[in-house]
Amino acid sequence: MSKNHSYTYSKRRTAPAVVSIALSLGAIATTAPTPSDAATPAASSTPTWADDFNSFDSTKWEKRLFRDKNSLDGADFPEQVSITGDGHLRLRVGKLPEPQIFWSQPITHAGGYVWSRGKHTVGPGRIDVRAKLLPTGSSTGIWTAIWFRDTTLNGEIDLAEMIGTPNKQPKYYPSDGTGIQQTVYANMGVKSDPYHQRNFTLKSPAAEWHVYTLDWSRSQIIMRIDGVETYRTKDPDIMKAFSGSLDIRFSQFIGENWGSRVGATTGNPTDTFIDYVRYWKAPA
């Protein structure tokens, strides 16, 4: 997929061929970090900041009106974002009553996108996000993501990305809904930019609740799913892109050529849920 569109709004999809491995979280449990790796406070301590999504805090979050250029079948509308009665942020993909033209693209669906850019960012530390990404078998063409951009716009961390199932890339996103992709990008907008990408197979579908953790400092990025380490880099060419603080983004893009366009197995509606975000600032 394109790596050269405008970096200002980019959520780039790249073919996961450069560095990709598929493995079971259970199989790598022995690589869980030792206590000496713990750069940040344990989850049992009181978070520096948290949002349980019992209401929508517009001082921290914005519901976006947006279409990524890779989103060919839909756009994100504020109306597709809501808070459920049980305290979840819900991003909902639904079929439009009538097809329409949005930002020069004919679209049939609307989804949700919430970001904190310009309102709230987090510095080095640990961020836990508890989420249900996409239902299994009825979410074709929906590309849902939990991700972060550095305030310098140089770096991007994709903590969890999923293409709905079924899709055109079952090697990465199998039909049982267990596929997750994690990526770190540096030097956005430069065609030869370094990036690291990993694919993981969860033991249970991404349609179930999982806790996705980003643990970062100026010298290291670690990602975990349900407490099990899935990604780590200390590459200085990557880390130099993370000199600012991170905004937080939850998005749904709809229909792209690599993963799948929408179709008969795209549920109407199809939801992504976020239960909470918790942040622990790294010790000074």
Minimum distance between the CB of residue 40 and Ca ion, rounded to whole angstroms?
Answer: 22
Q: Tell me if 158 sits within 8 A of 188, measured CB to CB.
A: no
- Out of 176, 226, 235, 275, the only residue in the binding site for Ca ion (CB under 5 A) is 275
- The set of residues, in sequence order, having a beta carbon less than 8 Å from that of 162 and lying 6+ positions away, is 133, 134, 143, 144, 145, 173, 179, 180, 181, 206
Q: Could you say whether residue 52 binds Ca ion (CB under 5 A)? A: yes
Taking CB positions, which residue lies at the least distance from Ca ion?
87
d(CA 267, CA 138): 5
Minimum distance between the CB of residue 89 and Ca ion, rounded to whole angstroms?
Answer: 8
User: Which long-range contacts link 166-171 to residues 24+ away (Cβ below 8 Å)?
Assistant: 166/137, 166/140, 166/260, 166/265, 167/140, 167/141, 167/259, 167/260, 168/258, 168/259, 168/260, 169/258, 169/259, 169/260, 171/22
**Residue with smaller CB distance to Ca ion, 86 or 98:** 86
Minimum distance between the CB of residue 94 and Ca ion, rounded to whole angstroms?
Answer: 22
**Residue with smaller CB distance to Ca ion, 159 or 163:** 159
Q: Could you say whether residue 250 binds Ca ion (CB under 5 A)? A: no
d(CA 76, CA 251): 8
- The set of residues, in sequence order, having a beta carbon less than 8 Å from that of 82 and lying 6+ positions away, is 56, 89, 90, 92
Minimum distance between the CB of residue 11 and Ca ion, rounded to whole angstroms?
Answer: 25
d(CA 155, CA 145): 16
**Residue with smaller CB distance to Ca ion, 176 or 275:** 275
Minimum distance between the CB of residue 83 and Ca ion, rounded to whole angstroms?
Answer: 9
d(CA 6, CA 271): 28
- Out of 53, 66, 147, 253, the only residue in the binding site for Ca ion (CB under 5 A) is 53
Q: Could you say whether residue 208 binds Ca ion (CB under 5 A)? A: no
**Residue with smaller CB distance to Ca ion, 53 or 173:** 53
Given the rule CB under 5 A, which of 45-53, 75-83, 177-185, 232-240 is the region that contacts Ca ion?
45-53
Q: How far apart are the first and last CA of the chain?
A: 40
**Residue with smaller CB distance to Ca ion, 110 or 277:** 277
Residues within window 119-138 making contact with Ca ion, judged by CB under 5 A: none
Residues within window 81-120 making contact with Ca ion, judged by CB under 5 A: 87
Question: Where along the sequence are the contacts to Ca ion (CB under 5 A)?
Answer: 52-53, 87, 275-276
